[in-house]
Every structure is written in structure tokens, then in C-alpha cells.
């Protein structure tokens, strides 16, 4: 059971994100101050900094909630299941449930954040760092799974390929939603592309474009 204090903190955090994103969408990321975010959320400026270190942290907070999800999917896969199959299964489940990391969530707040990230260089830089961190975590999980050294080249190469596929699929899905499609309309092609992309990883590229 969530205690009153924890619920209040979660609600304040969510209110700060909503207020900040609304202001960023209206006026642009660079033209909104932390003080203005605090005023919109009806809290003090110090309260904002108690929850977030910077404006970038506010926007990226929902993204950070899914940090290292690929590594978790590998560590929690079924006995005998390959890493590729586990990650494909996880991505397809995310599509079916319209989870934001798949790019197929058309919730207005998610679309607003996606637009902000695409249009703001500082946020794109943060997203790149987030992706690199996730790839490193996945490489560690793959090295553990294969009994390899932490710096094993195959683990890191596989992690880079696996996360690149997920990123490309999510980016394509976001583009469809930003262009005006609903998640339900985009779902069939999103599933087809995911199966095709993970199929290439499963089968290898040995004969591709020979």
C-alpha cells in the first residue's frame, strides 16, 4: 500500500511534469524558467529543485522510468529463451499495451514530450546519453548471460544492434503518431515492422544485400 507521503510526492512530481511540458509546448523549452514552472504548479522554486536538477530532467523523467528495460527483459527471460526472442516479445507486448518506449503511445502528454524532444537539441543530447546507458546495461546483461568478460566485444556488439533496432522501430512509430495517425491505426504496421526487424537479428545478415 502506498503511504500518504509517497502518494503526495508522486502527485507533486507528476504536477511539475505536466506544468513544465505545457509551458514548453506553448512557449518553447528555452523560453521557460524554473521559476515559471514552479508558479504554474503552485509550488516554490526550491520544491522544483527538490525533485529535479534541471529543466531537462523534468522532460526526461518519464523516459528515465524505463531505464535499462532491455537489460531487465534479458535477465528475466524464460529458461531456454534467447535474448533476441526475449526482446522481441517484450517490444511486441509494449506495442500491444501502447507503452511509450515503443513509440506507440498516443496519450497527449506522451506526444507532447516526444515533440519536445525531437525539437530541442539539449533534449536530443540527453536522449542520446540515455540510449548509450541502456546499451551499456544490456551489454552487461548479455555478458552475464554468456559468462563472458564485461568488455566482451560480442556482448557489446549484440547490445548495440539490439538497442538500435528498438530505437529505429520506436522512432518510426513516433513519426506516424506525430503525423496524425492514432496508435490503433499504426499498430498493425508497427507489429509487422517489429517482427521483420527482430527476424533479421535472429537470422543474421550473412546473406543480406549479397
Q: Residue 25 has which C-alpha cell?
A: 509546448
Series of mean pLDDT values for 10-residue runs along the chain (210 residues): 82 94 93 95 94 94 88 95 96 97 93 90 92 95 95 95 96 93 97 96 78
The candidate with the shortest Cα–Cα distance to 141, out of 132, 150, 133, is 150
pLDDT at residue 65, as a whole number = 84
pLDDT at residue 82, as a whole number = 94
pLDDT at residue 206, as a whole number = 76
Determine the Cα angle at 130 with ends 126 and 134, to 5°. Answer: 170
Q: Are 177 and 111 in contact (CB under 8 A)?
A: yes
DSSP the chain: ---HHHHHHHHHHHHHHHHHHHHHHHH-GGG--HHHHHHHHTS-HHHHHHH-SSHHHHHHHHHHTTTTHHHHHHHTPPTT--HHHHHHHHHHHHHHTT-GGGT----HHHHHHHHHHHH-HHHHHHHHHHHHHHHHHHHHHHHHHHT--TT-HHHHHHHHHHHHHHHHHHHHHHHHHHTT--HHHHHHHHHHHHHHHHHHHHH-STTTT-
Could you tell me the pTM of the whole model?
0.88
Domains of the chain: 4-55 (1.10.10.60), 66-203 (1.10.357)
pLDDT at residue 5, as a whole number = 86
pLDDT at residue 208, as a whole number = 67
Inter-axis angle of helices 153-178 and 83-96, nearest 10: 20
pLDDT at residue 1, as a whole number = 61
Q: Are 104 and 177 in contact (CB under 8 A)?
A: yes
Amino acid at each position: 500500500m502506498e503511504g500518504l507521503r509517497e502518494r503526495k510526492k508522486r502527485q507533486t512530481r507528476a504536477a511539475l511534469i505536466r506544468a513544465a511540458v505545457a509551458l514548453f509546448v506553448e512557449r518553447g523549452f528555452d523560453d521557460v524558467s524554473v521559476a515559471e514552472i514552479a508558479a504554474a504548479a503552485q509550488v516554490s522554486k526550491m520544491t522544483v529543485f527538490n525533485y529535479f536538477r534541471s529543466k531537462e530532467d523534468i522532460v526526461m523523467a518519464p523516459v528515465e522510468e524505463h531505464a535499462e528495460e532491455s537489460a531487465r527483459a534479458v535477465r528475466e527471460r524464460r529458461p531456454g529463451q534467447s535474448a533476441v526472442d526475449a526482446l522481441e516479445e517484450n517490444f511486441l507486448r509494449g506495442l500491444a499495451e501502447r507503452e511509450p518506449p515503443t513509440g506507440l503511445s498516443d496519450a497527449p502528454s506522451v506526444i507532447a514530450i516526444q515533440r519536445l524532444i525531437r525539437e530541442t537539441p539539449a533534449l536530443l543530447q540527453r536522449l542520446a546519453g540515455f540510449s548509450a546507458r541502456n546499451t551499456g546495461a544490456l551489454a552487461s546483461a548479455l555478458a552475464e548471460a554468456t559468462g563472458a568478460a564485461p568488455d566482451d566485444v560480442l556482448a557489446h556488439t549484440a547490445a548495440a544492434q539490439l538497442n538500435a533496432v528498438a530505437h529505429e522501430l520506436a522512432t518510426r512509430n513516433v513519426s506516424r503518431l506525430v503525423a496524425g495517425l492514432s496508435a490503433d491505426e499504426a499498430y498493425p504496421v508497427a507489429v509487422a515492422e517489429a517482427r521483420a526487424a527482430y527476424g533479421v537479428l535472429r537470422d543474421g545478415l550473412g546473406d543480406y544485400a549479397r
